[in-house]
Structure 1
């Protein structure tokens, strides 16, 4: 390999890694002593030493003992905070007083199915409603709280049969997202047929698409335990299951030629199934159509830059293309001849970005017999454009200012239900009548004890290092004084083309505002808010732009007198956790406190984990010289410097996390505790939680209480619960 980065001596010096094989007292006094045992890795002709490799060994008794000691120390800290319990009590009170909510709608026949959340129950359920979408007539079909009274069994996703008589449901335990599919009879709520294992995992996800007569379904399947370990959680393929058959004898359909990191999503449309196959997490897709007879036709390849596809009632395929159109254009192709070269552009690229999918997956394009609805985004807020079947504009769906739409569900009575989310009002579904063109709030509307009547959201722009304007959504109480003294919490993500769109602010944000805080969301590069170019300028060898954007956002808030470094905190999770690790190592004096949840920190070893291999199309690989150079240049773990005054840091992870290996948090915390001359560095490890998806309500509430108790304490904020 060509030498592309610093000498081995420079790397070791920059990383400041300890190399002795002994227990070393942390510079962070009070932290558990952590032994070091250096291991050397070679990348081409350079060497990198890792003194905490032993902390990667999940299940090792010594790692477990270390983790328990860390968590015990963290719990002692929180137990000693007088405000921790009142904060938790206030949060649970607000959550419990919130109304039930519905989301992830699916229409089947004359029924509407939805995920149903009813605080203070630990897990969401599946409910069925009539076409009127009246919660008063809702019936619970499946309740995981009854299946597991501990609240640790979660529904990953579900798909109803076309006539609405059955549900295919993936369920998993302890936040693992390691799901098997259960077939549920809607009338009785009982399980029928055999459980199908290996359908869902956090690496490539999982999916089901029913045959139109409901006799069976296509589904995703991972290799079983008989296959080599390096194949498990990879090489996802498509199989067909006929109800009543032994799943072990289900027939293979497609996928042997897919990439190792394929992520498959299946959707049924008017007698066809669209199979969307992602090449890992970098935004490349291929699309296939499966006919009722099981025949398969490939429509697009990765290089075609088709990012979404659906089939309309007019027997035509609608495809979102980003080829020579980074913001997206809409193509139409007849089902009689699925030759992509014959597709015609019906909606050209515009200033708005056609989205790739919603919060709950699915195509951003919904086709009814009368119109085509396209979800678009402009820098964060979104809208829904309406066209006829040939692309002639018909306006937009009615929305409030600065709103987002994640779901559009066409009903069989000529109307649509679409979700509406804003920062300051509880979410609701609006019903749009195609004939009249009128929209009204449906009965599927959430209520909350939290009011933001005294709050405003303003949009301002920071200027990044290279001159790029970075949008900021600043949530503040009306009349907030810009005197540099406000506690500010800055949130960011910046990756995987994920959009930071408006959504109703959590109860914890209300408590933050009441204590004099300001909450800010930064739309960083790496997201999809301004199209594929915005995404690519924050991925692979351009990833440093994301960290520069966030640092510039923080500096803007200081310069504009919203806050100062003594009153500024940062928070992020997952890819946003990587962001936290990068900014605290690159700008240790910029923040007073940093919260990083389920983060990635060792960028030289991330691809060795199953989900990390999927991330190489977003982050890059150490096997590529230029990407290795970029990865090492910002890898947080390798840039912790001894004797540095780091901010107060709180990291949290879950032992069952299948998306980000918890070893990243263990190693990063150990390294920071050894190096810092600043505030304490805390780690919380939950044995019944994963990446946060599927965690019980009590776990989520306790984790949130920890975060805000830490922030209140470190920023010197007072909490006074309302009576």
Structure 2
């Protein structure tokens, strides 16, 4: 353990040599929230000459793996000691943690998935660190535990990361995630006996898991094993699809699809509805530009049906030789098309034309196509027949997000979930034939959803672009007309849409009298390809302008007072926070940059970072370099300027955005003259980019972050005692 354990030998001596305030508690109060004395951080003399510019990188040594480099481990321990002491003394922190715990303690269900008359679903009784997988024989059968990940490790940081039953429901394929890493270990369970079989597959990452229809084995994608000490940092290349036959060792697995001449490609494999084909979708990065291949399972013949990596083509399902896909080819907001794969020359026919709303997922179930749209970042679900005639729109409870609608073509039953900022996920059973929804599982919560108001507003960005924003407040705060400390969240990248969803921790923020806002920035997928393109590559500054515009709007409209605005974002959103704080430090009172991409000149050198060039560009190309250098958070800190209070959060096992990004960034912040507000980093152990995090760790982290943000925006967390 790194976070709370003393390090032996040279590490302990190095920490002991630092100023005592670096490792002992620093008293803080509501009146004195000044920065503590930071641990000493060695500044190296690394200077790169890039396209005629000299770029200093004094903290490059902090890129080294904390598990391997003792100096980095010492630094982590020292930083956490200072941060832990500061956070522990924040006013209202304990009340906030207690209330988040109460709000989290409700029964949560995943969507049921039926195979062979058995229904598989996840359930968490409230405060279980990991959700448990259950199975029922028949929808109303007695539930029994199938997999309980809470028994897998002492710290509950080992999670069930995905699962797939055979067609007859007799076997279950499942993936294990340890310590938050993206790596997966795959195993097989006998559903009747609960016995874990001998089949084990390692080095799986960014993979689907799909059975052959006869249950003889399964398809998966993996990377080659890494060298010693490289598991969490080495670039991921040579993604390959394999078939594992039950009862055989992994060494006997058959390569199904690989591209050794192009090792940068990723390959995602699934089995067609009729079981005759393996559908391999290949990508070169994060853009929706795919090549799709069909592999005949009997003959092994491979046929490329979508060549060229020019457009998005995503398999929906098939009825015989008629294959349905969604695509943005000639339809920036996407449409549904079909083709007859028995033809020598494929012709694509539009089934559901492009609409005014953005098309997301589509399923082929109950003899129909069920299409999920985004209407101004809110869910809209429509049902069509297989010739594209609209049957109906599914009635949803309000502003929120709906997901699910999977199923079998010849069965009318499907399930979906609906949630919003004031409503935890409710699971509904939907009869596709009649259009009737019925509640299958609804949580009982420790608050009244009607006490909170969810609005959607629109504001103008710097260049006049109309940007949507969700605003959530308690009715009492909304009706008062008074400004309230506000937490503004954003992402703005990779064609990812931010839609309404429930968070117990943010509800506690609302109960304390705060407001919560989510800006749907360019770079996301809310309005299709044009919206995404408007916020990436040399348009990335639009994302920052949109977020700054949201903050200015909230102040101008009296939602939040000047000096009462906090911002938060994770991953690409962490980059967002770092960039806008550099550009407008005067606008924000506090910020949380979580697991962020902070060094835009070296992001492509670690793990999955090479994929992100589709959104960010290539640091090795001069035109892209100039854009990246201009906003890179690590390289644009304005010493001599008063900065807001910042809490950077990351984790030691984050092998998506390696923690070196956050380490280097906070070291540069602490070395600069940024005024009296603290610039701190919280580094979690046995955790990664976010998925698989135990409930208790998630509650602790949320309490720390929101107490920190609330303390600098004037939100009284002690009021949660009332």
Contact map agreement 1:285 1:306 (CA 8 A) in 2 = yes
> Equivalent residue for 1:173?
178
Shift of 1:462: 1.4
Shift of 1:345: 0.9
> Equivalent residue for 2:328?
322
* Structure 1: unaligned runs, 5 residues or longer: 1-21, 356-363
Matched, 1:335 2:373: no
- Change over 3 Å in CA distance of 1:553–1:108 after alignment to 2: same
Shift of 1:130: 4.1
Residue from 265, 269, 279 that aligns with 2:268: 265
User: Residues of 1 paired with 2:228 and 2:246: CA distance?
Assistant: 26
- Change over 3 Å in CA distance of 1:84–1:457 after alignment to 2: same
Shift of 1:456: 0.9
SS in 2 for 1:703: helix
Residue from 659, 664, 669 that aligns with 1:667: 664
Shift of 1:86: 2.2
Shift of 1:143: 1.1
SS in 1 for 2:720: coil
Matches within 5 A, 1:476-495: 476-479=473-476, 480=478, 485-495=483-493
- Change over 3 Å in CA distance of 1:603–1:695 after alignment to 2: same
> Equivalent residue for 1:199?
204
User: Residues of 1 paired with 2:381 and 2:263: CA distance?
Assistant: 35
Contact map agreement 2:490 2:569 (CA 8 A) in 1 = yes
* Structure 2: unaligned runs, 5 residues or longer: 1-16, 23-33
Matched, 1:695 2:702: no
Cα deviations by residue, 1:342-374 (Å, 9 ceiling, x for unpaired): 01111111101111xxxxxxxx22113521111
User: Residues of 2 paired with 1:130 and 1:270: CA distance?
Assistant: 25
Contact map agreement 1:274 1:310 (CA 8 A) in 2 = no
Residue from 89, 93, 101 that aligns with 2:109: 101
User: Residues of 2 paired with 1:258 and 1:564: CA distance?
Assistant: 57
Contact map agreement 2:422 2:507 (CA 8 A) in 1 = no
User: Residues of 2 paired with 1:121 and 1:552: CA distance?
Assistant: 40
- Change over 3 Å in CA distance of 1:722–1:302 after alignment to 2: farther
Cα deviations by residue, 1:144-191 (Å, 9 ceiling, x for unpaired): 112224201111211111111111111021111211111111112221
- Change over 3 Å in CA distance of 1:107–1:336 after alignment to 2: farther
Shift of 1:722: 4.6
Matched, 1:239 2:242: yes
> Equivalent residue for 2:438?
440
Contact map agreement 1:165 1:185 (CA 8 A) in 2 = yes
Cα deviations by residue, 1:663-706 (Å, 9 ceiling, x for unpaired): 11111111111221141111111121111111111111110010
- Change over 3 Å in CA distance of 1:276–1:482 after alignment to 2: farther
User: Residues of 2 paired with 1:231 and 1:94: CA distance?
Assistant: 40
Aligned residues: 683
Matched, 1:212 2:213: yes
Residue from 510, 530, 535 that aligns with 1:533: 530
Shift of 1:537: 1.0
Cα deviations by residue, 1:411-459 (Å, 9 ceiling, x for unpaired): 5642221222222222122222233232222x22233223222211111
- Change over 3 Å in CA distance of 1:484–1:550 after alignment to 2: farther
> Equivalent residue for 1:155?
160
- Change over 3 Å in CA distance of 1:107–1:57 after alignment to 2: same
Q: If the length of structure 2 is used for normalisation, what is the TM-score?
A: 0.90
SS in 1 for 2:415: strand
> Equivalent residue for 2:719?
720
Contact map agreement 1:496 1:618 (CA 8 A) in 2 = yes
RMSD (Å) for aligned C-alpha atoms: 2.3
> Equivalent residue for 2:92?
83
Cα deviations by residue, 1:560-593 (Å, 9 ceiling, x for unpaired): 1111331111011111100000110000000000
Matched, 1:392 2:389: yes
User: Residues of 1 paired with 2:308 and 2:401: CA distance?
Assistant: 29
User: Residues of 1 paired with 2:159 and 2:183: CA distance?
Assistant: 10
SS in 2 for 1:459: strand
Matches within 5 A, 1:451-490: 451-479=448-476, 480=478, 485-490=483-488
Matched, 1:124 2:131: yes
- Change over 3 Å in CA distance of 1:430–1:662 after alignment to 2: same
User: Residues of 1 paired with 2:366 and 2:714: CA distance?
Assistant: 59
> Equivalent residue for 1:345?
350
> Equivalent residue for 2:29?
none
Shift of 1:227: 11
Matched, 1:254 2:243: no
User: Residues of 2 paired with 1:513 and 1:419: CA distance?
Assistant: 24
> Equivalent residue for 2:193?
188
SS in 2 for 1:74: helix
> Equivalent residue for 2:65?
58
Q: Which moved more, 1:530-539 or 1:141-150?
A: 141-150
SS in 2 for 1:490: strand
User: Residues of 2 paired with 1:556 and 1:336: CA distance?
Assistant: 56
Residue from 283, 291, 311 that aligns with 1:286: 291
